[in-house]
Amino acid sequence: MRLFEWLLMGGTLSTLAVLGPWRWQVRGRWRWRIAAATLGIGVVGLLLHVFVEGTRWQLSIGYVTLALLVLAALRHPLRSSPPPPEASLSGPVARSLTGVTVFALVMSAVTAWALPVPALDPPIGPHSVGTRTFSLTDTSRTEIWTDEPDDVREIPVQAWYPTSVATGQRAPLSTRPDVLSATAAEWLGLPSFMLSHLDLIETSAILNAPLATPTAEPWPVVIYSHGWGGFRSQHLSLLERLAANGYVVLAIDHTYAALASVFPDGHAVPIDRDTLPPEPEDIYAQAAQVLVDTFARDIAFLDEQIRADQLPVPIPATDLDTEGIALVGHSAGGGAAMLACSRIENCATVIGFDPWVDPLPDDVISAGLTVPLVTLRTSAWMDEPNDDNLRRIHASSTSQRLLHIADSIHRDFTMVSDLTPLAEQVGLTDATGGERVRQVAEELTLDTLGRVLRGAESPERTWPEVEEG
């Protein structure tokens, strides 16, 4: 819970405790003085909570209880003189009602703790981070996931980059948190309102800050691709950390296959589950090939627009090192990164987190990549059919590093562990917890990019819980 939430709930509970019909309560005029003070704390906490932190459904019972206490105080002011008999909370009915209310308040506080507003750590790095959102339209491609014959492919993109601006408006996790939170809740099998508090998340990036002018070499470029059902900021800590360390990162919402594709004008497209129907098996396999190929084409089109200096935001190609870019992807985005790398000339390296490579053409798997290929897998994705093809593409690549981290699952690479401190207990993460997996992924990415894009001559980094092969 956040600071002012504690004041709100603490003041409300304390007021009930002082006024409640229990024998241990404070007696006499001090009872009403203390009640007035605790009620004041609750009201101040509520006002600060509303105007500074923002309301959320988890504390609804606290809002209602505090409002009723304030109304009661206005009717029978909490003063030093004895209150009228009708203001006293006494008798079995009053004890039952008060007990139920206190229990409900405690459960509300527990719910607020279990579903917190995540407080994201600032990225580690020498630069402040800016962010901008834009969209690209590929007129050469017909949109395959709509019924309109004239639709062309449109993708929203968000950039994170180093900036010289240290203060400014912080970017939200999403400009359409209502769509993102409702779709995420549905994806996890929860009621649509359960994650509505995610719209209160603030990131470390400064909205629409200018790109810092490079002091020496142009900024290296990284393109990030999420998996099916993911979204562009699902690995926000990685994207902001790369930007804080001098990389320009561009992440795509793969429209219709992202959890929610949010465009700069505010309209959002939730995921279309028919982009990857679960059955029958032959339809699924064909849809998977189309999905990964579409992702790869999105990546290649973004790369083309970067090199042509056609981005509709002030990120000029002259400030970017476009001779060799890095592709980073998770799940289907990892497989798409490999496929895109086999097609574009300036691919310098691919880093995949549990990359899904089964849908890749067999000739790409057999040929491998001619640039450094680094893969970090979770234990849940090992010993699966996909792993056989992943090992094949690594074996065929000229420079490769195949790693795995024990006691981890596919979601650990994303922000899912920030949703609740009970993430492991409810099966959202595995024993290592998503935070540690993300930390390793970030350090591995920085280590790889430093050597490949910046020519650092340091040895490959290792971690105790990470094994080769």
Q: 3-state DSSP call for residue 228?
A: coil
| Contact yes or no for 388/451 (Cβ under 8 A) | no
Which pairing describes strands 128-142 and 152-163: parallel, antiparallel, or unpaired? Answer: antiparallel
User: 244-290 pLDDT, tens per residue?
Assistant: 999 999 999 999 999 999 999 989 999 999 999 987 888 999 999 99
Q: What is the pLDDT of residue 397?
A: 94
The whole-model pTM stands at 0.89
Number of C-beta neighbours around residue 400 at 10 A? 17
Burial class (CB in 10 A: 0-12, 13-18, 19+), 362: exposed
Q: What is the pLDDT of residue 23?
A: 46
DSSP H helix total and E strand total for the chain = 11, 13
User: 50-88 pLDDT, tens per residue?
Assistant: 999 899 989 999 899 888 888 877 766 555 455 554 445
User: 330-389 pLDDT, tens per residue?
Assistant: 999 999 999 999 999 999 999 999 999 999 999 999 999 999 999 999 988 887 889 999
In this prediction, residue 417 has a pLDDT band, given cuts at 50, 70 and 90, of confident
CA 356 to chain centre: 21
- Domain-wise residue ranges, the chain: 3-114, 128-468
Examine the pLDDT at 440 and tell me if it is beyond 50: yes
Burial class (CB in 10 A: 0-12, 13-18, 19+), 44: middle
| Contact yes or no for 232/158 (Cβ under 8 A) | yes
CATH H-level, domain 128-468: superfamily: Alpha/Beta hydrolase fold, catalytic domain (3.40.50.1820)
Q: What is the pLDDT of residue 24?
A: 47
Examine the pLDDT at 101 and tell me if it is beyond 50: yes
